[in-house]
């Protein structure tokens, strides 16, 4: 079992955590957001958080997710940040959403170079590698795969998020990603019936959600079936797969058991927790991961 954190990224910094909050810098702007796993004390005083933060997210009464941003006059509600590492060059639009998210999950930067490297390593004798990104959000993983030369199918149930992903694609100088606005489970069931396969599969399922036609997704109820279907969709000889889970009820051992039951032992397997360190050395856990590849 491993603990993974991304390599340093000049455009992102986790400054402090604690009191069920986190203080982060995205490019030129410092934000304060809720963080349910930061149950310890803050290292900086509240006055310093208030002085530094250009925007603070406040939840609506009775809501765990929705709320509003309280911003200072010099805070933009939209801006772009670059990501540069080795041969990977991407650009992301960030925005203050009503669900506290800003457009990227920084801990996932540990997977972007991995995706790029694995696609590059896949044999491309007669066709480009096919990569499927499920619950794809604003598309950082899709961009990493596309820049490496893959044919990417990007699936998300929210039309506005697909539009956001397209903006990121264009800002990164890329094109020809296949956008699918659909419930992820419905999509993989249909692909399995058709016998379609992919060289790479990326999954980042939420704890709960809704499809475009009201389809209900509950992680504990549907993940087992989803992984069973993905085992049918994954190419047999040349492949990679990544799954990330951010749910307080799921440990890395649960994910390991699920993956072994559907995929068996695979080469180059890694699993464990993702985390981000703040500037005071506290490590903030941000979900579990499992990944493997043939290359």
Name the band, by pLDDT with cuts 50, 70 and 90, for residue 25: very high
Tokens of 75: 């805070």
Decide if pLDDT at 221 tops 60.
yes
Spatial separation of the C-alpha atoms in residues 164 and 78, rounded to whole Å: 11
Dihedral class, residue 291 (left if φ above 0, else alpha if ψ from -120 to 50, else beta): beta
Reply yes or no on whether the pLDDT at 126 is more than 60.
no
User: With contact defined as beta carbons under 8 Å apart, do 113 and 120 qualify?
Assistant: no
Fold assignment, 105-293? Rossmann fold (3.40.50)
- Distance in angstroms (rounded) separating the CA atoms of residues 100 and 187: 28
The whole model's pTM is what?
0.95
Local structure of 4: helix, strand or coil = strand
Summarize pLDDT for 175-215 with one digit per residue, the tens. Answer: 999 999 999 999 999 999 999 999 999 999 988 888 888 88
The two beta strands, 208-210 and 216-218, are antiparallel
Query: In this predicted model, what pLDDT tens digit does every residue of 77-125 receive, in sequence order?
Result: 999 999 999 889 999 999 998 889 999 999 999 999 999 999 999 987 6
């Amino acid at each position: 079992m491993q603990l993974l954190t991304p390599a340093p990224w000049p455009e992102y910094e986790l400054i402090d955590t604690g009191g069920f909050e986190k203080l982060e810098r995205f490019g030129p702007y410092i934000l304060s957001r809720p963080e349910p796993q930061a149950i310890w004390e803050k290292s900086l005083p509240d006055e310093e958080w208030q002085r530094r933060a250009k925007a603070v997210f406040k939840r609506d009464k009775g809501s765990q997710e929705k709320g509003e941003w309280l911003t200072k006059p010099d805070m933009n509600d939209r801006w772009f940040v670059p990501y540069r590492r080795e041969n990977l060059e991407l650009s992301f639009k960030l925005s203050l959403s009503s669900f506290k998210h800003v457009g990227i999950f920084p801990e996932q930067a540990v997977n972007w170079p991995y995706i790029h490297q694995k696609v590059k390593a896949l044999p491309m004798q007669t066709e480009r590698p096919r990569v499927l990104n499920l619950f794809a959000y604003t598309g950082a993983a899709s961009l990493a795969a596309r820049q490496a030369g893959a044919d990417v199918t990007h699936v998300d149930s929210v039309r506005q998020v697909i539009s956001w992903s397209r903006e990121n694609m264009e800002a990164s100088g890329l094109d020809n990603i296949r956008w699918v606005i659909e419930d992820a489970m419905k999509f993989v069931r249909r692909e399995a019936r058709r016998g379609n396969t992919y060289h790479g599969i990326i999954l980042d399922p939420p704890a709960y959600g809704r499809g475009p036609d009201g389809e209900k997704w509950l992680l504990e109820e549907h993940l087992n079936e989803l992984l069973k279907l993905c085992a049918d969709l994954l190419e047999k000889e040349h492949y990679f797969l990544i799954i990330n889970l951010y749910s307080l009820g799921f440990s890395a051992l649960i994910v390991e058991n699920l993956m072994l039951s559907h995929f068996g032992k695979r080469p180059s397997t890694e699993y464990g927790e993702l985390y981000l360190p703040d500037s005071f050395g506290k490590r903030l856990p941000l979900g579990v991961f499992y990944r493997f590849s043939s290359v």
